[in-house]
Amino acid sequence: MTGAYTQDRKRLVTLIPGDGVGPECVRAAQRLIEASGAAVAWEERQAGASVFRAGLASGVPPETIESIRKTRVVLKGPLETPVGFGEKSANVTLRKLFETYANIRPVREMPGVRTPYSGRNIDLVVVRENVEDLYAGIEHMQTPGVAQCLKLISRLGSEKVIRLAFELAIAEGRKRVHCATKSNIMKLTEGTFKRTFERIARDYPDIEAQHIIIDNCAHQLVKRPEQFDIIVTTNMNGDIISDLTSALIGGLGFAPSANIGNEVAIFEAVHGSAPKYAGKNVINPTAVILSGVMLLRHLGEFEAAARIEHAILVTLEEGKVQTGDIAGYDKGASTTAFTDMVIANLGRTSKRWQVRDYRPIRLPQITGAEAVVRPAQRRTLGVDIFVESTLAPEELGPSIEQAAEGTPVKLKMISNRGTKVYPPTGAITDCVDHFRCRFILRAPDGDLSDAAILDLLARVGARHRWMHVEKLPIFDGENGFTLAQGED
Ligand code: NAP
């Protein structure tokens, strides 16, 4: 990764103060990084609420994008999408624009922060896939009353984040990586992530690799969080469990994060703009300061990073100055007083609380031919046509069967919200006006042509409103689709 430097060889970092409590926390982190002696200089840019209000729908102005392209590294405060402005969040814009495919969220027990888990040495990292899954944001109203969101999981996207999780384990001297998915239900999407994990784990024989179903992972995290080291998971699973893990160690005031891409890395707290505390100088800046510590390690400034982390541990351990989230907002210290104390503690180390020995992370490089899966054989067995109808399944079925007469396919079944309803199975299904009609080739070894699909669509469309079509592919003999509940 390249980047930009000042004339006196300081690494340039784009600084986005952000919204709400953002500027207060970001200034605290900036002051500490400067006091640590790290060779870092800042280029301040805007994003978020003020940009949306100025009429820019992405929330990220061109001069900010240009700065990030140049510096390749960002320290940012939380960004808001004000109601009534912008369709997409500025955070998501930044993640997608710079392909920051992994979100790394470490949590560790903090001295002086009492939680039900105190003394159990929680020290784990959630590595969340950051650009795919339901967060690709591809949504459609398929009928006036039925919405769809596409869950996209690619082998490439999975491989990048999973390799990064193993590389992170090596860089931080960790021993175990769990992969958390819902592959038992979503066999193709979450299953792709799991299968990719199992394949890549073989390249890392010294790291213990285990799969865990995401719901059990949530349960185990609450019951015995100390068993986890690194958890790698898909976007939505990771979004939810990483908020859970933040709560295990005392809340969002202590949860930093890094959005890592091969070109750009963006460091920020997990928390948002906490508007009720904005401008009051009472917020806990630790999460943003620790995000700054992650940034320094990313830049290879390991010594400065360790100095700041030690200073935070000493400050929290001594407890002379505590922020409102720990002491209570009526008696807590100000954000600036807490930051002053951490700066005063630079150079001190805690005897009891350790700082890991960090090494640089090797970012996975997956390019060219490796990035695309090319089966030796592929064919199309059939097609799913989704129709809007208020007919009962036993009336819709014969009508759809008639539409397929004289074509190379026959109606295999109709499902409603994933459950087979025609031919009838005896299941009690509350049908909505959204049916999937599954057609398969009468000669099952054949290959259904696009022309035949278009002809079928016209025939079905003459009787019912269709709104969605999916081919039923077979790649190297493996079905590229799942069966409906009750389908065999
Ligand atoms: P939030 O800003 O994270 O605040 C929720 C609560 O978390 C606060 O009321 C406070 O709890 C606690 N909290 C947050 N930051 C803290 C800190 N530094 N120290 C101690 N406690 C802290 O979540 P939100 O209210 O749902 O979101 C507000 C706005 O932020 C929204 O516009 C949202 O879209 C945006 N947001 C941005 C990002 C980002 O930019 N990455 C992330 C999340 C949310 P108590 O009330 O219990 O004191």
Given a contact cutoff of 8 angstroms between Cβ atoms, the answer to whether 13 and 74 are in contact is yes
CA of 224 to the centre of ligand 1 (A): 26
Residue nearest to atom 37 of ligand 1 (CA): 272
Report, as ranges of residue numbers, the positions in the chain whose pLDDT lies below 70. Answer: 1, 86-87
Summarised one tens digit per residue, pLDDT across range 409-466 is 999 999 999 999 999 988 888 999 999 999 999 998 999 999 999 999 999 999 999 9
- Cα 283 to Cα 21: distance, rounded to the nearest angstrom: 7
Instruction: Write out residues with Cβ below 6 Å of ligand 1.
Output: 78-81, 91, 251-253, 268, 271-276, 283-284, 287, 325
Give the mutation target among 81, 103, 113, 252 for probing the ligand 1 site: most ligand atoms within 8 A of CB.
252
Ligand 1 atom at shortest distance from the alpha carbon of 269: 41
Q: Which residues are catalytic?
A: 135, 182, 215, 239
Q: What is the pLDDT of residue 81?
A: 78
Residue nearest to atom 42 of ligand 1 (CA): 272
pLDDT digits (tens, 9 = 90+) for 312-333: 999 999 999 999 999 999 999 9
Non-local CB neighbours of 311 within 8 Å, separated by 6+ positions: 32, 342, 343, 345, 346, 347, 348
pLDDT at 87: 64
Backbone dihedral angles phi then psi of residue 181, each to the nearest 5 degrees: -140, 175
320 alpha carbon to ligand 1 midpoint, in Å?
A: 25
Helix orientation angle between 235-248 and 214-223, rounded to the nearest 10 degrees: 10
Ligand 1 pocket test target in 91, 273, 339 with most atoms within 8 Å of CB: 273
B/e letters for 206-216, b = 16+ CB within 10 Å, e = fewer, are ebebebbbbee
Report the separation in Å between the CA atom of 274 and the middle of ligand 1, taken as the mean of its atom positions. Answer: 4
Domains annotated on the chain, with CATH: 1-100+261-359 (3.40.718.10), 102-241 (3.40.718.10), 376-479 (3.30.70.1570)
What is the structure's pLDDT at 386?
98
Model pLDDT, residue 398: 98
Which ligand 1 atom sits closest to the C-alpha of 276?
Answer: 9
pTM of the model: 0.94
In the reported structure, the alpha carbon of residue 304 is separated from the centroid of ligand 1 by a whole-number distance in angstroms of 28
* Protein residue whose Cα sits closest to atom 8 of ligand 1: 274
